[in-house]
Amino acid sequence: MVSVDWREYANRLNDRESEAVRTLTLHATANRIPIMRLEAMALVEQFLRLKQPKRILEIGTAIGWSALKMALAAGPESRITTVERDPQMVEEALKNIRSFGLESQIDVLSGDVLTMHDALSERAPYDFILIDAGKAHYQAYFTLVAPLIEATGVIICDNVFLRGFVLEPDEAPKRWRKLSHKMHDFNRWLSQNEAFDTIFVPIGDGLSVSIRKNE
Ligand SMILES: C[S@@+](CC[C@H](N)C(=O)[O-])C[C@H]1O[C@@H](n2cnc3c(N)ncnc32)[C@H](O)[C@@H]1O
Choose which residue among 57, 70, 86, 156 to substitute to test ligand 1 binding: the one with the highest number of ligand atoms within 8 A of its C-beta.
86
Task: Please say whether the beta carbons of 116 and 141 come within 8 A.
Answer: no
* Separation between Cα atoms, residue 135 and residue 155, nearest integer Å: 16
Task: Please say whether the beta carbons of 98 and 20 come within 8 A.
Answer: no
Beta strands in the chain (DSSP E): 55-59, 79-84, 106-110, 126-131, 149-158, 196-201, 207-212
Give the binding-site residues of ligand 1, using a 6 Å CB cut-off.
Answer: 34-36, 60, 62, 65-66, 83-86, 89, 112-114, 132-134
Q: Which residues of the chain have pLDDT under 70?
A: 1-4
- Delimit the domains of the chain by residue range: 6-212
Amino acid 114: pLDDT: 98
Choose which residue among 59, 69, 156, 182 to substitute to test ligand 1 binding: the one with the highest number of ligand atoms within 8 A of its C-beta.
59
Amino acid 3: pLDDT: 64
Amino acid 27: pLDDT: 96
Amino acid 76: pLDDT: 96
Which residues 6+ apart lie within 8 Å of 5 measured at CB?
none
Amino acid 6: pLDDT: 87
In ligand 1, the atom with minimum distance to the C-alpha of 41 is 8
Amino acid 133: pLDDT: 98
* Separation between Cα atoms, residue 172 and residue 199, nearest integer Å: 24
User: 134 CA to middle of ligand 1, Å?
Assistant: 6
Compute the half-sphere exposure of residue 30: CA atoms within 13 Å on the CB side of its CA.
6
User: 132 CA to middle of ligand 1, Å?
Assistant: 6
Task: Specify the DSSP class assigned to residue 104.
Answer: T
What is this structure's pTM? 0.96
* Separation between Cα atoms, residue 179 and residue 147, nearest integer Å: 25
Amino acid 5: pLDDT: 86
3-state per-residue secondary structure call for 111-167 = CCHHHCHHHHHHHCCEEEEEECCCHHHHHHHHHHHHHHEEEEEEEEEECCCHHHHHH
Task: Please say whether the beta carbons of 183 and 166 come within 8 A.
Answer: yes
Fold of 6-212: Rossmann fold (3.40.50)
Amino acid at 118: D
